[in-house]
Chain A
Amino acid sequence: MADRSTQMKNSINQKLVETGEKERLKDMLRQRLTECGWRDELKEHAKDIVRERGLQQVTVDDLVKEITPQGRDLVPDTVKRELLAEIKNFLAAQSL
C-alpha cells in the first residue's frame, strides 16, 4: 500500500491533470522562468557541462543529475512564490 503522503500526492497530481491545471501551471512556470532568464542560465550551465564531459559521452541522465540542484537554486523567489500561491489556490478550490 502506498504511503499516505504519496497517495495524497498522487491524488493531487491526478486532480491537477484532470482539471487541466497542471498544464496551465506548467506553461505559466515556463513563461516566468524564461522571462527572468533562468532558462538561459541553465542552458549555459548545461553547455558547460557538455563541453567538459565531451560531446559524445554526455547523456540525459547525466545532465539532469548535474543541473537539477543548480536549477532549483537559481529559481527567483518571485516565481517560486507565485507558483506556490497558484497551487494553494487550486487546492483550496478543490477542497471546497
Chain B
Amino acid sequence: MTKPSHREQVSNTGSWMVQAGGGGGGGRVGVDNNLLLSSLASPEALEAAAQSVSQELLDDAILNVVFEVHQSVKTGLMMLEVGSVEEEQKFLQVNAEGLDVFGQAPIKKQHECICPNCSRNLAASRFAPHLEKCMGMGRNSSRIASRRIQNSTKENSNSHHGGSDDDDDDDWMIDRKRKRRDKNSPRRSKNAKVKGDSVSSTGNVETTLATGTTEEKRAMLKQICGVVSEHTRKMCTRSIRCPQHTSEQRRAVRDQVFNGSGSETTTTTTRAADSTSRGLGDTAEDIHVDIDGLDDGQLASSWDNDHSNTTSPADSTSTNNSTSSLAKRNGSKTKKKSSKSSKSSSSSHGSLLD
C-alpha cells in the first residue's frame, strides 16, 4: 500500500538497493527496512532476530560437517582412514603380563607330533629325520642299524664264551661283517682276515719263537713264511706264498725251529738229516706224506689262501708228486738220495718217478 509513496525515499537513501533490486524489488526492500527499523526497536525483537540468525548460521556449520563426513564415507576415504572395526580389535595393543605387545608368548612353542611307528612325542623339526631312522628308509638308516647290530653282537660275544646257538649265529654274523668290511677295503692285508689267534705281527713272532710251545710255533709257522732274512736276522712275516722265499727255504727254517739242526744252506744235507731222523716215523710219515704231497701241490697250484694246512709244511719230505715243478725237485732228490743209506724209500720214489 505504501509502496508507491516510498519509492522516492528509497531512491534517496538506498540508491544502490534500487539498482540491485530493480523497481519492484527495491520497493520491497524499502518496506523491509522500515519494518526492520521499527521492529528492532524492542530488545526482545532484537534478541529474537539475533537468535534466529545465529541458529541459521549454526545450521549452516552443521551442514558443512555433515557434507564432509558424508562425502568421505561415500568416496571410501572413511574406510581408508579409519578401517573396519574388526581390524582394529585384531591389532589392539596387548597389555598382558608375560606376553609381548602382539599377544604372543616370548618363546615360540614347537609343534609336537607323535611318531606313528614308535609313538613318541617329537618336535616338528626333528620329525622327518626321526621317521627315516625309525622306519628304516632313507640313506643312513640301514648303516646305522647294521652298526648297532654289530655292536650289540660284539658285546654278546664278548660276554658269553662257549657254544650256544645264539653265539654261533653271532660269530657267523661277525664273520660276515668282517668279510664284508674286507671286501670294501681292499687295502686291508690278507693277514687281517685270519680269525681268532693270529700271529702276523713281528712282535708276536719274536715272543712265540722265544717262549712259545711247539704247537704254538707250528701254528705260527703255518701262517707265515718264516724264512730268516740275512740282513735283519728276522723271520719273514709274509704269507706262506711269499714270493721272496722258496718252499725249500721254508722247510729248512721249520726244521731248524723244530729239530735244531745246524746248517740250512744246502737243501740236500737237510734232506739227508730229515730222512735219517725221520726213519722211525716213516710209516706214519708215509701216510702224512700223501697228505703233504697234496699240500705241496696246493702250494704250487692253488691261489686261495683260506685253506688251512692241517699238517705243517716242515713235515713234507721227498714225496710222490705228479706236478711238473715238484717232479723236477723230486728228480733231484732221488738222484741225491740214491747215494744215501736208506735206499728203500729212495728206490720207491725212484720207481714211482720212472
Contact = CB atoms under 8 A, between A and B. Distances in A.
B37 to A, nearest CB: 5
B33 A87 contact: no
Interface string B123-163: 00000000000000000000000000000000000000000
Nearest to A53: B73
B57 A25 contact: yes
Residue in B32, B35, B37, B79 whose Cβ sees the most chain A Cβ within 10 Å: B32
A83 B57 contact: yes
Given A26-B57, A26-B61, A71-B58, A11 B66 contact: no
A86 B46 CA distance: 12
Contact of A95 (B40, B63, B79): B40
A43 B69 contact: yes
Interface stretch (B48-56, B89-97, B111-119, B271-279): B48-56
Chain A: interface size category: 35 or more
A13 to B, nearest CB: 7
A55 B53 CA distance: 34
Interface residues of B, number: 40
Residue among A26, A33, A87 with the highest chain B CB neighbour number at 10 A: A87
Contacts of A22: 57
A11 B65 contact: no
Contacts of A9: 49, 52
Given A7-B35, A58-B73, A12 B78 contact: no
Contact of B50 (A7, A58, A84): A84
Contacts of B60: 26
Nearest to A59: B70
A23 B79 CA distance: 33
Given A33-B61, A83-B57, A43 B40 contact: no
Given A7-B35, A12-B36, A63 B58 contact: no
Interface in B51-110: 51-70, 73, 78-79, 82, 85
B46 to A, nearest CB: 6
B35 A4 contact: yes
Contact of B54 (A5, A42, A71, A87): A87
A63 B32 contact: no
A67 B65 contact: yes
B66 A47 contact: no
A9 B65 CA distance: 24
Interface string A62-96: 01100110011001000010011001100110110
A43 B73 CA distance: 12
Given A9-B52, A84-B54, A50 B61 contact: no
14 contacts: A9-B52, A11-B29, A14-B29, A25-B57, A29-B57, A30-B64, A47-B73, A67-B66, A88-B46, A88-B50, A91-B40, A91-B46, A91-B49, A95-B41
Interface of A: 4-5, 7-16, 18, 22, 25-26, 29-30, 33, 39, 42-43, 46-47, 50-51, 55, 58-60, 63-64, 67-68, 71-72, 75, 80, 83-84, 87-88, 91-92, 94-95
Given A46-B69, A60-B66, 4 more contacts: A11-B33, A63-B66, A83-B58, A84-B47
